[in-house]
Amino acid sequence: MLTDGAREGPISGPILGPAAESLAAEPVPVVLGDAFGWFSPGARRRGVLLCGTFGFEQWCAYRSWRELAAMIAGTGCPTLRFDYPGQGDSRDPAGPEIPAALDAIRAGIAYLRERAGAEEVVVVGLRLGATLAALSGGDIDRLVMLAPFSTGKAYRREMAMQSRLIDVMPDRTPMPQEPDSLMVGSFLLGPRTLADLARLDLAASKRAPAPQILMLGPKIETLAERYRALGSDVETGPLPDLTQLVSDPLFPRLPAETFARVRDFAVAQAPAPAASSPVPASIPSPAPCRLADAAWQEEVSRFGPGLVGILCRPRGAWGGGTVLVVNSGRNPRAGHGRQTTQLARRLAASGIASFRFDLRGVGDSAERPDGAPPLYTVDAVEDVQAALNHLEARQHTPCVVLGVCSGAFLAFQTICRDERLSAAVLVNLYCFDVAPGTDVETMIRDSFRGEVSYAERARQGALWRRIVSGELPVGRILRAVGRDARARLAAWTARIPGLAPGGVTVARRVARLRRRGARIHAVYSRGDRGIAALAANLGQSPEGIARKLGYPVTVLDDVDHNLSRPADQERLFAIVRDAVEDARRARSAEPEAGLAARPRDVPDPSGSRPAPVAAVRA
């Protein structure tokens, strides 16, 4: 069921009629078989279906894709976008991925015609989504193809090249691949999916996918001529901002001009609402959206200052533990490689609830007031606390907060401020604090070009061979060493009370939360750069750090920064599960009188302010 944090009951939908266009910015969640999506109602009689691409590329494009949907919905056309089965927040398909994706596209077209009252349907496809849309055989009136792959083999080749650049270990060597599989940006293409992709070929089509086609991108003229020969009216053009759209997960740029052209093509000459009735009265509203499986059930909520999240609960008995997951980077709530969705459902099967949500500026949540991404910004703690307020009102107050990289930064900042949290699992925390005025984009791009410092890599013969051969310029090494030195100096000065942010060192903040019984489990990939910040702030002794945090530090061998492989995720699942069990035991041991005496004044979860610290221990 879908619940709205501002009111009781499910988010109803869709809203049809004259008010629909004004509500275009407030889409309602829907389910299309195994696919989860967002529908923006509209009074016009032309529906628009957005078919994103797969995996890493769609993860990069997610926020921009949402903006395109809003642009089109703002014209009054009913608009639907969705995650393919096995991706995002959708269920895993019962069968192979590619046939399930084609079924989802056909289901989306049917939804617009049967539920939204659309007489015409436009499909907008991105990359592999454009290829699949053209092969779906759906009843399409207009088709937009953004940088389509003419064959599935071409997609496979390009993803293989991307994988060698993206999926690397901390020492920058390529990540080992599973046999007959391909991991791209932590998204796995299995043997059956690769085999099905190899059979896709747009040139083999005997009929045009739509009467009118807009095709933008490189190397499209041969395909355009093929569709013209089959009777389509095909308009072509460049897609200059493709790389920015599908290759940068942290700092994507909205391709405003391209999207304006797509919108104009999609809505051109769209039928206006009927004078007597904007939408036929016979079209039923869908039932409330429910997404569940044998072991888990999920509810989507809007809450706080324009935030969106999903509560995943066990279908069976709930043991009382809830995990709050904070976005890493600009990852949508499903997580890097869809790991958060998979972890949530695995936890639910073990009797543990979880809440994954989008910070402002990420995924489906509202924009931040300053328009900047919520990376390493302390004010984003307000969003995390809004999630805590929302969950406390639902009697699901989290006991554990989980974050990776920049998500770990926010998780640390939150547990230091909010006594409702009993434990934090911080994975590859890069730094505890960021100085005011820091150019965060430059910091991230400089810091994560290589996960291991050059000083550490100097012990490896491969580095010297690259220098001697001229492959690695000496100037680049000197600049990197300088960055490393500055980072270490900043970490050491943060240990001095007068120089630490807010005048309170990391060690003192950790000591405070330990005095109230909270603990931190720090998890690192061996060689990750964040280990230096941990040592600079809490000391070099593993035993000493363990005493300060309440847990030994876990250092994982042969693991990349994002813990991408299934075996790595299995380790993380065990760590989070154990942290929840420890928190449950600690809470059950607290005196009942002490629990009863704590204040329970919980703010309205639809409000934009965090809970006051005086009333936050659950």
pLDDT band, residue 178 (cuts 50/70/90): confident
Structural contact between residues 501 and 416, judged by C-beta atoms closer than 8 angstroms: no
Rounded CA gap, 165 and 173, in Å? 10
557-576 pLDDT tens trace:
999 999 999 999 999 999 99
Structural contact between residues 45 and 280, judged by C-beta atoms closer than 8 angstroms: no
pLDDT band, residue 17 (cuts 50/70/90): very low
| pLDDT of 601 strictly over 70 | no
Q: Which residue has the higher pLDDT, 487 or 401?
A: 401
Determine which helix (DSSP H) or strand (DSSP E) holds 492, and give its type and residue range.
helix 474-493
pLDDT band, residue 20 (cuts 50/70/90): very low
Structural contact between residues 72 and 48, judged by C-beta atoms closer than 8 angstroms: yes
Structural contact between residues 295 and 345, judged by C-beta atoms closer than 8 angstroms: yes
| pLDDT of 261 strictly over 70 | yes
208-255 pLDDT tens trace:
999 999 999 999 999 999 999 999 999 999 999 899 899 988 887 889
Determine which helix (DSSP H) or strand (DSSP E) holds 546, and give its type and residue range.
helix 542-549
- In eight-state DSSP terms, residue 614 is G
Q: How far is CA 46 from the centre of its chain?
A: 30
| pLDDT of 18 strictly over 60 | no
Q: Which two tokens stand for residue 427?
A: 């994975």
**Portions of the chain given CATH number 3.40.50.1820:** 27-152+207-267, 292-433+494-615
Give the pLDDT score at 446: 66
Rounded CA gap, 252 and 274, in Å? 40
Rounded CA gap, 15 and 208, in Å? 34
118-170 pLDDT tens trace:
999 999 999 999 999 999 999 999 999 999 999 999 999 999 999 988 888 87
Q: Which two tokens stand for residue 222?
A: 């041969």
Out of 313-317, 419-423, 457-461, give the one with best mean pLDDT: 419-423
Give the pLDDT score at 478: 62
Give the pLDDT score at 564: 93
Residue among 330, 327, 306 at smallest CA distance from 25: 306
| pLDDT of 11 strictly over 50 | no
Determine which helix (DSSP H) or strand (DSSP E) holds 570, and give its type and residue range.
helix 566-588
| pLDDT of 613 strictly over 80 | no
Phi, psi of 144, deg, nearest 5 = -105, 125
| pLDDT of 603 strictly over 90 | no
Q: What angle do CA 170, 174, 178 make, to 5 degrees?
A: 115
Give the pLDDT score at 166: 87
Give the pLDDT score at 4: 35
User: Of the given ranges (287-291, 428-432, 550-554), which has the lowest mean pLDDT?
Assistant: 287-291
Residue among 57, 63, 61 at smallest CA distance from 128: 57
Report the percentage of the chain scoring pLDDT > 70. Answer: 79
Q: Which two tokens stand for residue 613?
A: 């610290």
| pLDDT of 593 strictly over 50 | no
Taking domain 292-433+494-615, whether its CATH number is 3.40.50.1820 is answered by yes
467-490 pLDDT tens trace:
556 655 666 556 555 655 555 555
Give the pLDDT score at 151: 98
411-454 pLDDT tens trace:
999 999 999 999 999 999 999 999 887 888 777 766 655 444 44
Q: Which two tokens stand for residue 54?
A: 């797969």
The beta-strand segments (E) located in 528-616 are 554-556
Give the pLDDT score at 469: 61
Q: What is the mean pLDDT of residues 25-35?
A: 89
Taking domain 27-152+207-267, whether its CATH number is 3.40.50.920 is answered by no
Q: What is the mean pLDDT of residues 283-292?
A: 58
Give the pLDDT score at 606: 35
Question: Could you write out the DSSP letters of every residue in 410-478?
Answer: HHHHHHHH-TT--EEEEES---S---TT--HHHHHHHHTS-SS-HHHHTTSHHHHHHHHHTSS-HHHHH
Rounded CA gap, 541 and 263, in Å? 59
Give the pLDDT score at 21: 37
Give the pLDDT score at 253: 83
- In eight-state DSSP terms, residue 542 is H
Out of 21-35, 246-260, 294-308, give the one with best mean pLDDT: 294-308
| pLDDT of 272 strictly over 70 | yes
323-335 pLDDT tens trace:
999 999 899 999 9
| pLDDT of 551 strictly over 60 | yes
Phi, psi of 236, deg, nearest 5 = -125, 165
| pLDDT of 287 strictly over 70 | no
Rounded CA gap, 148 and 158, in Å? 12
Phi, psi of 122, deg, nearest 5 = -110, 135
Rounded to two decimals, what is the model's pTM?
0.84
